[in-house]
Structure formats: structure tokens, C-alpha cells
Structure 1
């Protein structure tokens, strides 16, 4: 099937950069194309986010994300002095748009970053990108990992970089890790980023070491959940017990024995009960299943032997060690 443009209905016209038709018809979304066409139609006019949204039917958030998309593609240029509400539509003068390095902002004292994460507008984010090569590179690599970035994701990364002080490569390492475990929501990434900043994990080597530690903890937690026949993931409180056992170097065999004794005693899974058993064994110097079994065997011999004095200190000691399992 062939198509022909009806030139008879043409009135006033405006141009569309060739790069858009050549490179972005497949890459850009319908909403991104709508926003671009409206801005090109209004070339030279200062357009607010609300105006663009009203005339295109695209939400305000998606409008700002679309503008940033075209700015990153060098089809639109950010207007440094328009403020948070204004977006200047700039139509390239050349038929073909060549990639150029963004020009630095006019020299002025940089605005201090807020102490807490704020919801930066699309034009504010664009201005930050224009003034920071690190942010531009961060967004470019993050986009290759996560896909087209949302306003909230860009806000989050700027907050990690400017407020938490994490280096660009460390943030990229964090994003790659979260993508590998399919947890890319901003709240999860920000939680990890805050911990890293607090613990001065701010080099690639330190970040990779921390990821290895986190993976090891997850694997250990999964083994415990399987050992305890749990149908769901351990809760935060349960994970605290698990990490405590891991850090103490308690073997899985010893934890399994404590679990079995818990089921025998109270017929249900209770992390606090298991933990008290393990603490009791640790206090008594029992490090292996064999240590516990040997102590129990000795205890039984003393209990079943020839008449013993009820106040025999040995009996009392064994009873305090073996039966010191409280709720």
C-alpha cells in the first residue's frame, strides 16, 4: 500500500529535524513525539509544562520526561534562565542536527543542594545535566541499564550524587546490582545508597566488596529459610537473628539441631526460642552438634546411673546447660 501527502490542506508549516525521522521514530514513544511536535510548532515561544500538557494530552510528569529525552538527544536545548515552570522550545537551525557538547551555564554562584531529597522539575534536572558531565554520563549509563529514565529516577540519582556524596561509578555499581536482583524501585536503591554513604562505601572496590557481602548474606538467609521450611521470606526481625548467627560463625548443622529441639519443645517455629538455645550452647562452649550430643549423653548417664544425690553439683550443672531453653 502506498501513501501520498495531501498538500492541499497545508497552511502554515514548521520544520522537523531530520534526525528525528531518521533515528527516533522507533526509539521515541508516542507521547515523546507529541511533546516534540508541539514544542517545534511553538519554536521561539516560552511554553510551560502545563500548557504543553493541556495541548497534547500528555501528563505533566510525562511532559517533563519527554523534554529531558529530547534534550539528551540534542534535539532540544535547555533554557538555563526560564525557571522551574518554563521550557524554551528551540528548533535547530540546521537541517541535520549534529551532536555537540552542551554549553556550560552562565557563570554564577551555584545554588546549594537541599539537605533532603526534593522533587526537581524537568527544567531543573536539565539545568543540572547541562552543568555536570558526571550527571550526564550517569544518566546515560543508567538509561542503558534501566531503560528510559523517569523523573523520579533522575531525582534519586542526583540526590545520591549531590547530597549523599556518592561517586558516579559507585552509583552505577549500585544500579547494576539492583537491576541484577530485579529491585529497581527508587526507595530500595536509596536505602542502600544511604547505608553506603553512612559507612563510607564510596569506591568501586568497596562497593563490590559490599555487594559480595550482601549476596553472601542473602544466600545464608535463603539456606536458613529452607532449613526451617519457611513458606515466605524471613522478616526484618528474623533476618537480624540470621545475620547474628552468621556473624557468630554458627554452623548450619548446629542451627538445624536448635530448630529441631524448638519444634520438639513448643511445636512451632520461633526464632527467639532458637536463638536462646544457641546462646546457651555458646555460653557453655558447645561449637558443634557433637559437643551438644556428648553433653546430652553424659547428662543422661548421670540421670540414669546408680542413685545419685539430688543435690549433686554435676547434675545441677548439666541440667542448667541442657535444659536452659526458655521462651
Structure 2
């Protein structure tokens, strides 16, 4: 089906930058398109957050985030142009905020303990931070390529990590890339790791990459245990502590799987404490691999069969004897 615009029914018109149609129809959300069209229609006028919200049907917070999106895309500018070219559309960032303190320039601070709560910067304040900090501008730009269009809460979070936790731009980017790779990009999760990194002085690319390797190895180990135990949910806190102890002790997933099989044979259910006792018993006996355990079991059974044969036991007696005696191997 083909369509043709009916130019004859148009009244007053306003222009839309070609870059919007060429590059942003797929990238921008419906709300962001609404905000841009409204601001273009109001070219030359000052528009408040409430004005945009009332005329587009989106929330004031979404309106601020949309303006930031178009500013980062260089479609809107915080300041009007004095040239003869069409002036950029005035945005929320141009408004004078009455009865409020002026926004302070963004200054990189040394690492300090993170506050209990982040400062919830408004869209205007975030724009001021971006204007004064090239690191923040670059951080947001790269973060968008990792996370997609940034929300106000995400920008607040990254400013908090940079400003208050003292993490370097490249370290934050490394952290965001890792979180995206494991599909856990919610703000609370990212901030939790960022706080740990700040506390442990993980603030160089080398240190961050080493920590990510450690975290990845730990996740792989836990995933291996979950598959071995046929678990369909994440381990509880206590179970996770035992798994970490097993990893620190050097127990292989294969050995833990064998301990799990022995546990099912004995008590017919998954029991972390029982598995732990088996593993500790094997370690105390000097067994580090499944093959070593199986060799010991074979030797133990052969010895028991010989002892049972000398005592005149029949096959049923031997099986019962083995089932009891073999308990002490573990």
C-alpha cells in the first residue's frame, strides 16, 4: 500500500530536523518523539516541565529525561544560537529556577565513604554536571551504547559512583559492561558492586578486570554446582556460603557432584550439610578427585569382602555388612 501526503489540508507548519527522521525514529521512544515535536512547535518560547507534561500526556520526569536524550543526541541545545541559522529549540535546561540555590560546578572528588542515599539530581542539575565534566559526558555516551537510552535514575547512579564513590570513568564503564553481560543492569545491583569496589580500592582497569575474572569464575562455579544438584532456584545465603567454602578449599564440581550422588543414595534428598560432611571426610582421607574416592571404595569393598568371607558370611550378609561399613568411608 502506498501513501501520499495531502498538502492542501495543512495549516501552519513547523520544521523537524532531518537527523530525527534519518536516525532516531527507531531509537527514540514515543514519549521522546512527543516531547521533541512539542518543543519544535513551541520554538522561541520557554517551556516548563509542567507545560510539556500537560501537552504530551507524559510525566514530568519522563519529559526531563526526553529533553536530556535529545540534548545528548545534539538535536536540542541548552542555549539559543546567535547566528542567522535556525535557532536550536529552547529546552528545560534554559529555565531560571526561582527560589533555589544555583547548581555548583561538577568537580572530581577523592574517594570517600558513600552516603547512605544518593542525591536525586533533577534534569537541570544533571545537564549542569554534564556541561562541566567531560568525563561524565563521555561516561553517559558509552553507557548508552551498553545500556540503551539512559533514565534519570541511571544517570544519577553513575554520577554518584563517579563523584561520591570516587570510581574512575573507565572503571564504571567496565562494571556496566560486566553487568550487561550477565543481564543484571538494575541500578541497585550495579551500585552494590560499585560500593564493594570502592571499599576494596578496585579503581584501575587492571584491578577491575581481575575482579571481573574472579566474579565470572565464581558465577561459573555456582552455576556448575546448581546443574550438578539439579537446582532450579538460586542457592540460599547459607548454601552460597558453603559453596564458597568448597571453592576456597579447591573442591572440583565433579567431586561435589559425586558427593551429591552419595547423599541421594543415602538420604534421598539434597542436603548441603550432609554433602559438606562427605567432602570434608574425603579431604581428611587425602582424596582430591572422584577417581581417588572410587579407588579407595574399591579397595575398601574388596578388603571387607575378604574379611566377611573369612567369617563365613553369605552374599546377603556381605551386602548388608558393606552397606553399614561403607558409611564410615564418608
TM-score, normalised via structure 2 length: 0.74
1:99-110 to structure 2, matched below 5 A, reads none
Q: Within 5 A, what are the aligned runs for 1:90-129?
A: 90=80, 94-95=85-86, 115=115, 116-129=117-130
Mapped to 2, the partners of 1:286 and 1:8 lie a distance apart of 85
In structure 2, the partner of 1:175 is 176
Write the distance in 1 (CA, Å) between the matches of 2:107 and 2:141: 24
Contact 1:18 1:96 in 2 (8 A): no
Report the RMSD for the aligned CA atoms in angstroms.
3.6
Do 1:65 and 1:151's aligned partners in 2 also have CA atoms closer than 8 Å?
A: yes
The 1:230/1:297 distance shift into structure 2, 3 A limit, reads same
Alignment-derived partner of residue 237 in structure 1: 238
Deviation at residue 126 of structure 1 after TM alignment: 1.0
The aligned runs of 1:143-292 (5 Å cut-off) are 143-289=144-290, 290=292
Q: What residue is the counterpart of 1:86 in the other structure? A: none
Given that residues 170 and 204 in structure 1 are in contact (C-alpha distance below 8 angstroms), is that contact kept between their aligned partners in structure 2?
A: yes
Q: Is the alpha carbon distance of 1:215 and 1:135 closer, same or farther for their aligned partners in structure 2, counting shifts above 3 Å?
A: same
Q: Is the 8 A contact 1:166 1:202 kept in 2?
A: yes
Using the TM superposition, name which of 145-154 and 35-44 deviates more.
35-44
Alignment partners' CA distance in 2, 1:96 and 1:187 = 40
1:252–1:2 Cα change, 3 Å? closer
Instruction: Give CA-to-partner distance per residue, 1:225-270, whole Å, 9 cap, x none.
Output: 2222223343343222222111111133432332233223322101
Alpha-carbon distance, 1:280 to partner: 3.3
Q: Is the 8 A contact 2:130 2:136 kept in 1?
A: yes
Mapped partners of 2:18, 2:55: distance in 1:
24
Counterpart for residue 297 of structure 2 = 293
Compared with structure 1, are the counterparts of its residues 287 and 28 closer, same or farther at alpha carbon in structure 2 (3 Å cutoff)?
Answer: closer
Cα distance in structure 1, aligned partners of 2:187 and 2:103: 33
* Deviation of 1:300 (Å): 4.2
Give the whole-Å Cα distance in 2 for the aligned partners of 1:145 and 1:171: 12
Q: Distance in 2 between matches of 1:158 and 1:270?
A: 45
Contact 1:76 1:91 in 2 (8 A): no
Greater mean alpha carbon deviation, residues 187-196 or residues 288-297: 288-297
2:47 alignment partner, SS class: strand
Q: Deviations over 1:29-74 (max 9, x none)?
A: 3322322233344455543322321122122221011110121123
Partner of 1:311: none
Q: Give, in whole Å, the separation in 1 of the partners of 2:283 and 2:87.
A: 74
Distance (Å, rounded) in 1 between the aligned partners of 2:54 and 2:178 = 39
Closer, same or farther in 2 for the Cα pair 1:163/1:96, shift >3 Å? same
In the alignment, is the contact (CA less than 8 A) between 1:177 and 1:211 conserved in 2? yes
Residues 205, 321 of structure 1: CA spacing in aligned structure 2 closer, same or farther, 3 A cutoff?
A: farther
Q: For 2:225 and 2:103, locate their aligned partners in 1 and report how far apart those are by CA, in whole Å.
A: 58
Q: How far apart are residue 273 of structure 1 and its match?
A: 1.7
CA contact (8 A) 2:106 2:129 kept: no
Q: Deviations over 1:77-98 (max 9, x none)?
A: 337xxxxxxxxxx57852387x
Assess, with a 3 A threshold, how the Cα gap between structure 1 residues 28 and 230 changes in structure 2: closer, same or farther. Answer: closer
Q: Deviations over 1:102-145 (max 9, x none)?
A: xxxx9966589982323222111111111111111011111112
Structure 1 residues 7 and 188: alpha-carbon distance in aligned structure 2, compared to 1, 3 A threshold: same
- C-alpha distance in 2, partners of 1:229/1:7? 67
Whole-Å separation in 2 of the counterparts to 1:286 and 1:321: 16
